[in-house]
Amino acid sequence: MNTITTRAPGAPPPDDHRLLPWAPERTGEHTRPPSWEAPPRERRAPPFQPLRFLALPLRLAWRQLRAEKARLASAIAGVMFACVLVFMQLGFRSALFDSATALIQNMRADVFLMHPLTTASFKPETFPRARASQALALPDVQAAVPVYLAQASWRNPENGSKRAVQLIGFDTEAGVMDFPGLAPLVDTLKRADTVAFDARSRPEFGDMTRLLKERGPFEVQIGNRMMEVTGLIEIGPSFGADGNVVLSEVNFRRLIKERQVSAVDLVAIKLKPGADLEATKRRLAELLPRDVVVLSQAELVKWERDYWEQATPIGFIFAFGSLMGLVVGMVIVYQILFSDISGHLREYATLKAMGYTNFFLSRAVLSAALILAVLGFLPGLGLSWLLYNQVGQATFLPLNMTADRATTVFLLIFAMCGLAGLLAMRKLRDADPADMF
Amino acid sequence: MRSIESAPVELRDIGHAYGTGELARPVLRDVNLSVGPGEIVLLTGPSGSGKTTLLTLIGALRAVQQGSATVLGQQLAGAGEKQRVALRRRIGFIFQQHNLLGFLSARQNVAMALEMDGRTSERERLERAGAMLESVGIGDRAESMPANLSGGQRQRVAVARALAGNPGLILADEPTAALDKQSGGEVVRLLRELAKRQGVPILLVTHDPRILDIADRIVAMEDGRITATEAGASAAG
């Protein structure tokens, strides 16, 4: 009687599902009566195939995106825009922090003494010069050099404009602090009123590289004194200082007359080879009064960086900028996906009527979002790389595309598109196959 | 002859209402209908008579509220979304509009009906889709996009798509409404011919008097009830 519903589960399934509609078995030449019963596929779930699970919705999404070139282009442009914005924000953030510490990073010494109230190198608190001599009490300390920091006005030798420049005065002979390019200049800097200029300073100070090549050493007005620029070193501009000038301790005092010799801003210490850095730091901290902190170079860099990150809104500004870029990108992707779904409600409802699940269509929407993430990220990466070079040259900020940052941005963009896809997915509920008739 | 229990569509005392509580508006009352294997049944009636609602209930697109509906052996009263989706895969739908995916070629559109079957390969699906398009007479337009096909051709693609998955039942809602007389007639006759070959029953909602002659049985509805049933022209032959 009821042959269909009672067919044993193990019975061989009828094989006519493979036949084309006009096969003889179907056109009446076959003796078996036509069967409307369910094809066997419904009774035996196919094994789970992860490739099909992802590939088919992905292909559907890609075909749909590809069909509307203008819409695809605007979606890619939106993701690219977000991508470039985030890259630039993160790039600037990191460049600013890097450049904020450019001076410190180029002060190569093992240990530093600093006043605990000093927040950043451009506004130091002074402490007694005697601490440098006291540090020498430890056998592991080879040399301790007091460093004087100050800002003075620099008169551009080309057009006469004035600009504040960072002065770094210390015993250049001691060989404790080794700025790149300093070594060959040690002898000339011993002469009175000589300075070495940071070749990577901002161009507003004058193109010293060219001038030095043309004229040889020449005089520049720093503060109220004419000083001879004898050579170039490399430090790079930072937040606190657009340009740097390195000079001997004596010349520093000639230039900044109000500064007392006994008040120093920093002491750079070189250890003997083989000395234990941590142990020496501990002993220095025990030995010296509380008016100095003992820091390794890495700690000093961190101290400086922390100041810019915490005491200024810079970190927040760039995080906020990145977030805005992501939000704008997300809205664009959401809009594109949403209008794609709205414009194809009938078709999606038809697919549902055909037996496609809401989950399949959700995967298609999410796939579309992730395709956009990849398609937008790649040109965004390229454009950001170009911009890094261009903007880096224009602003003298160290903008570098690192693999770490590219990965971070890709993950952010991927998450952004994924979120947009998840939001747009809700629109799929409106595709109700019952409304199709 | 199969017994009445094994009829592809078996409706008993179906009732349906839109809205809830005092606002409930009944659209179907005490509908009893069965469609036998290979039978072509036309549903006619004025707008609002409930025939489309009946079609969506049979197609498992709507939950059954009242009564019992057995479609292709699946009891729909109390059936969950999962069972209903599974049942839909065994039903071929043809809509008033062709509802083809505009970004897929005719062949790819038909192949979409086969993609849910996890055991076919892409090549098999496309071959099968091409064969289906041949059988509806537009094999030469298989690679065309829907936008480049005429209305009649698009509806033929929709017919091919509905039949591609070897459905146990075809549900059609005014498939000729958007077509002119000639192509509308061609499409339904094609549908009838293919369905008869496969032995698939068809339940077709129509207002179109020109296609009444394809029916084995014509069921008239009014006000949510079946008011008359008559043998169609083709049943005599």
Which of these, B112, B91, B229, lies nearest to B172 by C-alpha position?
A: B91
pLDDT of amino acid A315: 80
N- to C-terminal Cα separation, chain B: 18
pLDDT in tens, A356-381: 888 889 999 999 999 999 999 999 99
Q: Judge whether A254 is closer than 8 Å to chain B, CB to CB.
A: no
Average pLDDT over chain A reads 84
Helix (H/G/I), strand (E/B), else coil: A117: coil
Q: Judge whether B95 is closer than 8 Å to chain A, CB to CB.
A: yes
Q: Does residue A274 register a pLDDT over 60?
A: yes
pLDDT of amino acid A436: 66
Residue B101: which of A21, A37, A347 has the nearest Cβ?
A347
Q: How many CB pairs under 8 A join A and B?
A: 136
Q: Does residue A267 register a pLDDT over 90?
A: yes
**Once rounded to an integer, what is the mean pLDDT over residues A145-169?**
92
pLDDT of amino acid A42: 43
Burial of B22-58, coded b for 16+ CB within 10 Å and e otherwise, reads eeeeebbbebebebbbbbbbbbbbeeebbbbbbbbbb
Q: Does residue A194 register a pLDDT over 90?
A: yes
Residue A38: pLDDT band (50, 70, 90) is very low
For residues A75 and A21, the model is more confident at A75
**Which residues in B lie closer than 8 A to residue A5 (C-beta atoms)?**
6, 73
Does residue A64 contact residue B103 with C-beta atoms inside 8 Å? yes
Q: Does residue B59 register a pLDDT over 80?
A: yes
Q: Does residue A437 register a pLDDT over 70?
A: no
Return phi, psi of residue A13, to 5°: -70, 150
**Which residues in B lie closer than 8 A to residue A357 (C-beta atoms)?**
85
Other Cβ atoms within 10 Å of A94 Cβ, number? 18
Q: Show which of residues 140-169 on chain B sit within 8 Å of chain A, judged by CB atoms.
A: 161, 163, 165-166, 168-169
**Angle A265-A229-A104 from CA coordinates, rounded to 5°:** 30
Q: How far apart are CA A105 and CA A179, in angstroms?
A: 9
Chain B CA closest to residue A434: B61
Flag if A437 and B96 touch (Cβ within 8 Å). Answer: yes
Q: Judge whether A1 is closer than 8 Å to chain B, CB to CB.
A: yes
Q: Judge whether A71 is closer than 8 Å to chain B, CB to CB.
A: no
Q: How far apart are CA A397 and CA A412, in angstroms?
A: 24
pLDDT of amino acid A170: 92
**Which residues in B lie closer than 8 A to residue A2 (C-beta atoms)?**
3, 5-6
Q: Judge whether A33 is closer than 8 Å to chain B, CB to CB.
A: yes
Burial of A277-296, coded b for 16+ CB within 10 Å and e otherwise, reads eeebbebbeeebeeebbbbb
pLDDT in tens, A102-129: 888 888 889 999 999 988 877 889 999 9
Residue B236: pLDDT band (50, 70, 90) is very low
pLDDT of amino acid A49: 66
pLDDT of amino acid A11: 46
**Which residues in B lie closer than 8 A to residue A47 (C-beta atoms)?**
118
Q: What is the largest CA-CA distance in chain B?
A: 56
Chain B CA closest to residue A48: B118
Return phi, psi of residue B150, to 5°: -75, 165
Tokens for A143?
Answer: 């040399």
Q: How far apart are CA A277 and CA A410, in angstroms?
A: 39
Helix (H/G/I), strand (E/B), else coil: A161: coil
Which of these, B14, B29, B2, B35, lies nearest to B219 by C-alpha position?
A: B35
pLDDT of amino acid A18: 56
Best B28, B70, B85 residue to mutate vs chain A (most A CBs within 10 Å): B85
Q: How far apart are CA A56 and CA B67, in angstroms?
A: 38
Flag if A350 and B8 touch (Cβ within 8 Å). Answer: no
Helix (H/G/I), strand (E/B), else coil: B226: strand
Q: How far apart are CA A195 and CA A205, in angstroms?
A: 14
**Angle A131-A133-A139 from CA coordinates, rounded to 5°:** 110
**Which residues in A lie closer than 8 A to residue B1 (C-beta atoms)?**
none
Flag if A67 and B102 touch (Cβ within 8 Å). Answer: yes
How many CA atoms, within 13 angstroms, populate the side-chain half-sphere of residue A157?
19
Taking phi over 0 as left and psi of -120 to 50 as alpha, with beta for the rest, A48 belongs to beta
**Which residues in B lie closer than 8 A to residue A432 (C-beta atoms)?**
61
CA distances for A217 relative to A137, A184, A235, A245, B170, angstroms: 40, 14, 20, 14, 95
Q: Does residue A332 register a pLDDT over 90?
A: no
Residue A435: pLDDT band (50, 70, 90) is confident
Look at the alpha carbons of B182, B185, B189, B195 in this order and tell me if their dihedral is positive or negative. positive
Return phi, psi of residue A228, to 5°: -95, 125
Pairing relationship of beta strands B91-94 and B169-173 according to DSSP bridges: parallel
Q: Judge whether A4 is closer than 8 Å to chain B, CB to CB.
A: yes
Average pLDDT over chain B reads 86
Q: Does residue A319 register a pLDDT over 90?
A: no
Does residue A132 contact residue A294 with C-beta atoms inside 8 Å? no
DSSP string, A312-339: STHHHHHHHHHHHHHHHHHHHHHHHHHH
Flag if A26 and B85 touch (Cβ within 8 Å). Answer: no
pLDDT of amino acid A48: 62
Q: Judge whether A63 is closer than 8 Å to chain B, CB to CB.
A: yes
Residue A46: pLDDT band (50, 70, 90) is low
Poorest-pLDDT segment among A219-223, A246-250, B189-193: B189-193
**Once rounded to an integer, what is the mean pLDDT over residues A313-340?**
87
pLDDT in tens, B7-54: 888 899 988 998 888 888 888 989 999 898 889 999 998 888 888 889
Tokens for A59?
Answer: 């292909």
Q: Judge whether B6 is closer than 8 Å to chain A, CB to CB.
A: yes
Chain B CA closest to residue A15: B166
Q: Judge whether B70 is closer than 8 Å to chain A, CB to CB.
A: no
Residue A133: pLDDT band (50, 70, 90) is very high
pLDDT in tens, B194-216: 888 888 999 999 888 888 888 88
Q: Judge whether B119 is closer than 8 Å to chain A, CB to CB.
A: yes
Q: Judge whether B201 is closer than 8 Å to chain A, CB to CB.
A: yes
Flag if B197 and A2 touch (Cβ within 8 Å). Answer: no
Q: Judge whether A356 is closer than 8 Å to chain B, CB to CB.
A: yes
Q: Judge whether B55 is closer than 8 Å to chain A, CB to CB.
A: yes
Which of these, A291, A184, A162, lies nearest to A232 by C-alpha position?
A: A184
Q: Does residue A41 register a pLDDT over 60?
A: no
Q: Judge whether A357 is closer than 8 Å to chain B, CB to CB.
A: yes
- Mark out the alpha helices in chain B (DSSP H runs): 51-58, 81-88, 106-112, 122-135, 151-164, 181-198, 233-236
pLDDT of amino acid A21: 57
pLDDT of amino acid A384: 94
Other Cβ atoms within 10 Å of A429 Cβ, number? 8
Burial of A164-190, coded b for 16+ CB within 10 Å and e otherwise, reads ebbbbbbbbebebbebebbeebeeebe
Tokens for A378?
Answer: 């790649």
pLDDT of amino acid A30: 43
Return phi, psi of residue A274, to 5°: 85, 0
**Once rounded to an integer, what is the mean pLDDT over residues A219-224?**
91
pLDDT of amino acid A112: 93
Q: Does residue A198 register a pLDDT over 80?
A: yes
Residue B194: which of A21, A68, A434 has the nearest Cβ?
A21
Q: Judge whether B173 is closer than 8 Å to chain A, CB to CB.
A: yes
CA distances for A310 relative to A303, A320, A399, B2, B15, angstroms: 10, 15, 21, 83, 69
**ipTM summary value:** 0.85
Helix (H/G/I), strand (E/B), else coil: A232: strand
Does residue A135 contact residue A260 with C-beta atoms inside 8 Å? no
**Once rounded to an integer, what is the mean pLDDT over residues B185-191?**
86
Residue B220's H or E segment, with its range, is strand B217-222
Poorest-pLDDT segment among A138-142, A235-239, A425-429: A235-239
Place of tokens 């049944």: B41
Q: Does residue A39 register a pLDDT over 70?
A: no
N- to C-terminal Cα separation, chain A: 35
Residue A366's H or E segment, with its range, is helix A358-395
Tokens for B52?
Answer: 């489309």
Which of these, B101, B151, B173, lies nearest to A437 by C-alpha position?
A: B173
Q: How far apart are CA A88 and CA A383, in angstroms?
A: 10
Tokens for B123?
Answer: 């090549």
Flag if A434 and B56 touch (Cβ within 8 Å). Answer: yes
Does residue A188 contact residue A166 with C-beta atoms inside 8 Å? no
Q: What is the largest CA-CA distance in chain A?
A: 117
For residues A398 and A32, the model is more confident at A398
